[in-house]
Amino acid sequence: MTDKYAVIGNPIWHSKSPLIHAAFAKQTHQDISYEAIEAPLDGFEVKVRGLIAQDYKGANVTVPFKFDAFKLCDELTQRAQLAGAVNTLTFRQNKIFGDNTDGVGLVADITQNLNIAINQKSVLLMGAGGAAYGVVLPLLEAGAILSIANRTPEKATQLANTFNKLEIGKFEINAGEFLKFKNQSFDIVINATSTGLTDDLPDISVNNFAANALAYDMMYSRETKFKKLAEESDKQVKFTDGLGMLVQQAAEAFYVWRYIRPSTPPVIQMIRTL
Ligand code: NDP
């Protein structure tokens, strides 16, 4: 029998997840269906309970429900617990299991698809919202020397303190407002702010890129000012958008559900050509 999965969000029409999971299923010969479902803003739990009643096996969760999903779970993985948000639900034995695959998606995209090492590299994470929370643990586990800059500095400090207290990384996270990092250059600069949506640029300059740095924008399918800044630099900065992260987080969710890891480069390629 076909196992049913879905992605829940609002809005959801733009989601590429059904295409990605269909490609994974074809590639790995898994008999699954995967659809995009919109939940009313105040109706996430009702929607999830409805899917469970219809024998769905799991669901991905996207904006704005990742925090609602976190609250709804009976059990959480450590990475979901630390992220404070859930993007992958598994329905099993009358329980809801929550996971967060966004962070491993980012790290896998950088280290495997782009073939860039993170260990011992200086990394500036810009932003302290949901996406930033999800990527700190995997970045630390990959050996990053991490700094976090945010428009509201208290949020950056709070995020850093959460992980510094746990002594997860080899190095303390340095956090604060953008100005604090004005004269510092980084091997990897990650844009986890939502500035791509409003055509803004976080308060950084080309000086923040080290020679041959990676400029990683979590945003995809859109030209951003961050991309333009990276291209303006004369330090051989490599720019990439967040499409690889999107496909990698989906691959990790697929693994959580099906215990099989699909190959991602052909799927990233396929989505790029759409
Ligand atoms: P949130 O709303 O939780 O956080 C937004 C962050 O952006 C905050 O840190 C906020 O700072 C900052 N910000 C907003 N406007 C500005 C501005 N004008 N200047 C500087 N900083 C600003 O969003 P998410 O964390 O959920 O998402 C962030 C981005 O990551 C989105 O573009 C999203 O599409 C992308 N994303 C991509 C994924 C992928 O798979 N590629 C996965 C998840 C997210 P402040 O605290 O001061 O308000």
| Chain segment 49-63, per-residue pLDDT in tens | 999 999 999 999 999
In the structure, what pLDDT confidence band is assigned to residue 130 with cuts at 50, 70 and 90?
A: confident
Cβ neighbors of 116 (< 8 A, separation 6 or more) are: 110, 188, 214, 238
Angstrom CA distances, 218 to 112, 165, 240, 263, 270, stand at 16, 27, 9, 21, 19
Q: The pTM is what?
A: 0.95
> Which ligand 1 atom is nearest residue 155's CA?
46
Active site residue 66: yes
Q: Tell me, using a 6 A CB cutoff, whether residue 238 lines ligand 1.
A: no
Token pair belonging to 254:
């697929």
Return the residue whose CA atom lies nearest to atom 20 of ligand 1: 202
Q: Which helix (H) or strand (E) holds 79?
A: helix 78-83
Query: Of 16, 66, 121, 227, which is the active-site residue?
Result: 66
Helices (H) and strands (E) in the chain, counts: 11, 12
Check whether 167 has a pLDDT greater than 90: no
Per-residue confidence (pLDDT) for residue 169, from 0 to 100:
78
Among 91, 114, 174, 104, which Cα is nearest to 135's? 104
